[in-house]
Amino acid sequence: MSELLIVKNHKFLIVCFGGIALKMGGIPPFEFLHYLSSVYGNECDLIFYVDKYQCCYHKGIESISTNIDETVVYLNSKIAQNNYDKIIFMGTSAGGYAAILFASLCNNVNNVVSFIPKTILNKPVDKKYTNLYNFINSNTKYILFGDVNITNVNDNHHISQCENVKDFQNVQIIKINGVDLKKLRDTGVIKNTIDNIIYIKEVSS
């Protein structure tokens, strides 16, 4: 199964993209969805995807799409099924890349929450989508959690992957000494981040 939906026509939508080894930062994807459903199941629609091809979703989502462009069309169809107040795309590593990419390309995505994301691919299936710098839009707010403990600049999770998109005013980079998704979940960081998005009203300038 590449797609799991808990959709009850709530006001908010969270879409999660699994990363390498069909996990989200070390947490099996549907267990993380269990966490989200237990915390936000009465307030948010939830959709979770895994990339069984393990190529940053460049070959699409199994049984749904065959490439990035087809996936965008499909995701837009899901978004359009309800008049959501806010839409959040989330992911880690390769899933973090997907969250940034699809939020940038899809309609009406308000926020991205991305952990140690790739933003530049070394060997992309579709070279058009090598560098996410080229797709950051001005309507979405991006929150990226980067790991400053990784010193190898060639590591896919080096902080330079986040800093690649630092020039955009709507991109916030949160630097952490060691990104441990389970710890961020258990200490409430993930919940606080999501709460700040869906419950705190923006003040007009």
d(C-alpha 92, C-alpha 121), whole Å: 15
Q: Which amino acid is at 120?
A: I
Q: What is the pLDDT of residue 203?
A: 46
pLDDT bucket at 1, cuts 50 / 70 / 90: confident
User: Could you tell me what percent of the chain has a pLDDT over 70?
Assistant: 91
**Residue corresponding to tokens 């930062």:** 25
Q: What is the mean pLDDT of residues 96-123?
A: 96
pLDDT value at 24 more than 60: no
Structural domain of 132: 3-198
Q: Counting Cβ atoms within 10 Å, is residue 196 exposed (0-12), middle (13-18) or buried (19+)?
A: exposed
Give the tens place of pLDDT for each residue, 133-177: 999 999 999 999 999 999 999 999 999 999 999 999 999 999 999
Q: What is the pLDDT of residue 21?
A: 56
| Structural domain contains residue 162 | yes
| CATH number of the CATH domain containing 164 | 3.40.50.1820
Q: What is the mean pLDDT of residues 32-50?
A: 89
User: Which residue in 124, 121, 167 sits closest to 142, CA to CA?
Assistant: 167
| Structural domain contains residue 205 | no
The DSSP annotation for the chain comes to --EEEE----SEEEEEE--GGG-BTTB-HHHHHHHHHHHHTTTEEEEEE--TT-STTTT--TTT-SSHHHHHHHHHHHHTTS--SEEEEEEETHHHHHHHHHHHHSSS--EEEEES---B-SS-SSGGGSBGGGT--SSSEEEEEEETT---TTSTTSTHHHHTTTTSTTEEEEEESS--HHHHHHTTHHHHHHHHHHTSPPPP-
pLDDT bucket at 205, cuts 50 / 70 / 90: very low
Q: What is the pLDDT of residue 84?
A: 96
Q: What is the mean pLDDT of residues 60-88?
A: 96
pLDDT value at 22 more than 50: no
- The span from the first CA to the last CA of the chain, in angstroms, equals 45
Q: How many domains does the chain have?
A: 1
Q: What is the mean pLDDT of residues 102-131?
A: 96
| Structural domain contains residue 113 | yes
pLDDT bucket at 30, cuts 50 / 70 / 90: very low
| Structural domain contains residue 42 | yes
Q: What is the pLDDT of residue 80?
A: 95
Phi, psi at 187, each rounded to 5°: -90, 0
Q: What is the pTM of this model?
A: 0.93
pLDDT bucket at 112, cuts 50 / 70 / 90: very high
| Structural domain contains residue 203 | no
Are 34 and 78 in contact, with CB atoms under 8 Å apart?
Answer: no
| Structural domain contains residue 204 | no
pLDDT bucket at 204, cuts 50 / 70 / 90: very low
Q: Which amino acid is at 94?
A: A
| Structural domain contains residue 68 | yes
| Structural domain contains residue 112 | yes
